[in-house]
């Protein structure tokens, strides 16, 4: 496809697959063509640096996207990082590293479905460890909850945080047990407020310019959902998980109910761990008052 030869004076369509958008000098975003119910506009791939490139979350193994990343890079790709190993974030990593000789960085996948078992990092970053290039430094922050091996990456100079699926723009994330864990998710969110964040660059959707308010809103949204669950258990007298789903997620698009059921289960497991609810023969009761 030839490049347009006349200047386009329309405002840029920011989230459009296939062309890189510069968010700051040396920070570019390239949207993967995998829009959908669970991925929103698609997966955001980030390209960091100018002289040597870090690719963050190259997305699913879509050949045209892997080509677009290489075309947009404009300099050698030295590192391929992933926030976590769900199918919409990491499968392109191994392919891209094989073609470019880049080092794979992240945490290995846990066992279980919807985990990219092809991802085998050469450099494993633990909590608070750094990746330094000649142009920038990224600090890994372990943020289990959405996925047990989830890392956010903090750009040290800008204080911008790449959050993968830990936080996204415009919707809440799915917590899918057993790898997803609601208690860990809330703890990981609280902890992010210690890092003096400038902006959040999520794995899906637009840049978030009010990080701490967004984190607070997300935590309170989860607490409200938990309160609603406790109320529904009390009112419905020993409901099953499916009986709770219809009342607790009455505000959710019906197409999303199968995934909402996973988040509901994550809330119920947390209430169990907190000693506030108990499951007996698939029916839930409150413990104490």
Which of residues 116 and 165 has its CB atom nearest to Zn ion in the complex?
A: 165
Nearest residue to 170 via CA among 33, 18, 38: 38
Q: What is the arrangement of strands in the sheet containing 137-142, beginning at the earlier edge strand? A: 130-132, 137-142, 151-155, 160-164, 199-202
Query: Judged by CB, which is closer to Zn ion: 65, or 86?
Result: 86
User: Shortest Cβ distance from residue 284 to Zn ion (Å)?
Assistant: 27
Shortest approach of Zn ion to residue 174 CB, angstroms? 8
Q: Which residues of 212-225 are buried (b: 16+ CB within 10 A; e: fewer)?
A: eebbeebeeebeeb
Least separation in angstroms between CB 194 and Zn ion: 23
Please, what is the minimum distance in Å from the beta carbon of residue 147 to Zn ion?
A: 6
Q: Residue 127 pairs with which residues in a beta bridge?
A: none
Other CB atoms within a 10 A radius of the CB of residue 206 amount to: 17
Cis status of the peptide bond prior to 20, with omega within 30 of 0: no
Complex with Zn ion: residue 165 or 261, whichever CB lies closer = 165
Element (H, E) at 155: strand 151-155
CB nearer Zn ion, residue 80 or residue 271: 80
Binding site for Zn ion (CB under 5 A): 86, 165
């Amino acid at each position: 496809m030839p490049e347009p030869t006349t200047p386009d004076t329309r405002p840029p369509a920011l989230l459009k697959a296939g062309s890189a958008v510069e968010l700051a000098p040396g920070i570019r975003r390239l949207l993967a063509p995998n829009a959908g119910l669970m991925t929103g506009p698609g997966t955001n791939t980030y390209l960091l640096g100018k002289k040597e490139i870090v690719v963050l979350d190259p997305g699913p193994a879509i050949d045209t996207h892997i080509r677009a990343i290489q075309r947009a890079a404009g300099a050698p790709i030295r590192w391929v990082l992933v926030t976590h190993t769900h199918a919409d974030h990491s499968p392109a990593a191994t392919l891209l590293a094989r073609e470019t000789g880049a080092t794979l960085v992240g945490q290995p996948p846990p066992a279980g479905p919807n985990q990219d078992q092809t991802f085998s990092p050469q450099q494993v970053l633990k909590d608070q460890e750094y990746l330094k290039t000649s142009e920038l430094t990224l600090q890994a922050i372990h943020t289990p909850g959405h996925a047990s091996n989830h890392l956010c990456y903090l750009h040290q100079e800008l204080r911008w945080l790449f959050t993968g699926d830990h936080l996204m723009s415009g919707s809440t994330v799915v917590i899918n047990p057993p790898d997803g864990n609601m208690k860990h998710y809330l703890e990981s969110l609280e902890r992010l407020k210690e890092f003096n964040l400038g902006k959040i660059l999520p794995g899906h959707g637009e840049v978030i310019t009010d990080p701490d308010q967004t984190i607070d809103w997300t935590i309170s949204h989860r607490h409200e959902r938990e309160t609603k669950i406790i109320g529904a258990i009390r009112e419905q007298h020993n409901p099953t998980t499916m009986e709770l789903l219809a009342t607790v997620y009455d505000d959710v698009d019906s197409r999303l109910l199968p995934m909402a059921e996973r988040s509901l289960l994550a809330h119920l497991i947390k209430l169990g761990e907190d000693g506030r609810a108990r499951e007996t023969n698939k029916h839930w009761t409150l413990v104490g008052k």
